[in-house]
Amino acid sequence: MAPTSSPTVKRRRLAAELRQRRLEAKLTIEQVAERLEWSPGKISKIENARVSVLPRDVRHLLREYGIEGDEAEPLLAIARESRQRGWWQQYGDAIPPWFNTYVGLEADASTIYSYQGEYVPGLLQTSAYATAANRSALMTATEEEIEQVVKVRMERQSRLAGNEPPQLWMVLNEAVIRRIVGDRATMHEQLTKLVEASERPRATIQILPFSAGAHPAMDSAFHLLGFDEPSADEIVYIEYPTGSIILENHEEVARYRLSFDHLRAQSLSADESRRMLNRAAEDLA
């Protein structure tokens, strides 16, 4: 089972703490870079959690901020933890670099709110559905490569069955449950899994029916991730075929949270959604 402690979130916390300590010391990035004979870009990447940082580099930074000895130890401990390998790294090329960060964030998220307009989100896919979906999306991939991608997807789901699963709230466009991915048996199994998932205590699945008409997310699917870490703010993750975007700006995140609230309001209730899922599954039996 995949662990729920993510070095990705530790790196984000460390970045926020280092940035705060620099500001408290009333130093600019350029001033710190000059003192350490580093490039300003290196410090900027560290403070934006774009790179993994060595504990010795954290020690150098803290010394410039007037923080040494016992006071520095908690941040040095976070630096060491942030460099640990995540469970997903054992799969190598099965996870593209741009997806690595998201998997790490997802592994530590306390809330996962998602809107999907075309297919079942990876956290709720069956193995057969995931295989069929990836055969279509990864047009030049071998069967072995697809198998590895599906293994990663199934491993991601193990956290939902753990002792502290995240709060899951999924809004699915009706097209998601109407489009047959794979064959009828594959889709029937998938819809059955969605029904079962909707009955979990910390999971809510709503269907946005065609009759709802226009809605705020017609241009893209997205995920909202929240964290228990005090310094880890909510983020938005948006994926496209060759990469992804992570939004952390408070105004941008607020815009997507408002969109999600509107989507929930326009969707069928959880009970009505479950009934629609059951009917769709029965139609394929």
Q: What residues contact 73, with CB distance under 8 A and at least 6 apart? A: none
Per-residue pLDDT of the chain (285 residues; tens, 9 = 90+): 344 445 677 777 788 788 888 999 999 999 999 999 999 999 998 888 778 788 899 999 999 999 988 888 888 887 887 776 655 556 666 667 777 778 878 888 999 999 999 999 999 999 999 999 999 999 999 999 999 999 989 999 988 988 889 999 999 999 999 999 999 999 999 999 999 999 999 999 999 999 999 999 999 999 999 988 665 678 899 998 888 888 888 899 999 999 999 999 999 999 999 999 999 999 998
What is the pLDDT at residue 120? 97
**Of residues 9, 258, 231, 5, the one with CA closest to residue 113:** 258
Answer whether 266's CB lies under 8 Å from 212's CB: yes
Q: Which CATH number fits domain 88-284: 3.30.1040, 1.10.3470, 3.30.870, 1.20.120?
A: 3.30.870
All CATH 1.10.260.40 domain ranges in the chain, comma separated:
7-82
CATH of domain 7-82: 1.10.260.40
- For residue 223, what are the β-bridge partners? 114, 237
Q: What residues contact 122, with CB distance under 8 A and at least 6 apart? A: 130, 153, 156, 157
As a whole number of angstroms, the distance between CA 205 and CA 106 comes to: 18
What is the pLDDT at residue 4? 42
Measured CA distances, 223 to 158, 160, 164 (Å): 19, 16, 20
Answer whether 264's CB lies under 8 Å from 197's CB: no
All CATH 3.30.870 domain ranges in the chain, comma separated:
88-284
Measured CA distances, 66 to 2, 71, 75, 147, 239 (Å): 38, 10, 13, 51, 41
96-99: long-range pairs with CB below 8 Å, 24+: 98/242, 98/243, 98/244, 99/239, 99/244
What is the pLDDT at residue 15? 81
